[in-house]
Amino acid sequence: MATIQVFDKPLCCSSGVCGPDVDPALVMFSADLQWLERQGVQVQRINPAHQPALFAASELVREELKQHGSDCLPVVVVNDSVVSRGVFPSRSQLAGWTGITLDSLPELPVTNTGCCGDTEGKKRSSSSCCS
């Protein structure tokens, strides 16, 4: 199974999803990483503000910072290869890099009846909200 590491910009906490002014892209990215974990992918986020030793220990990230400066953050590494820098990748990109198909998403339950009757218009209740 794939391993993904995210070398973040300095964040106030492990996910950066807190405080009064949260970046919506960061919220989506955090949710997408949680989805990946549920698919069995090992995910590790490394925040330089909280894990400076892990951050500095990565030769890949040191080289990215040397070549591109801090604008390269976040750096996304999949199986020891840099796959993205400077942006929050989409769920589709994350899935593709880790070998997960988006078809593996669980299907939502679908009903073919409305709240006040079935698809043929037959009412079930006399106290319907749709009349």
Q: What share of the chain is helix, strand, coil (3-state, %, to 5)?
A: 35, 20, 45
Q: Is residue 64 part of a domain?
A: yes
pLDDT confidence of residue 56: 92
**Residue-range definition of the domain harbouring residue 56:** 3-14+22-98
CATH number at residue 47: 3.40.30.10
Residue 11 pLDDT class (50, 70, 90 cuts): confident
Give residue 12's pLDDT.
Answer: 72
**Residue range 76-102, pLDDT digits in tens:** 999 999 999 999 999 999 999 999 988
pLDDT of 109 above 80 = no
Whole-structure pTM value: 0.73
Q: Is the pLDDT of residue 125 over 60?
A: no
Structural domain count, the chain: 1
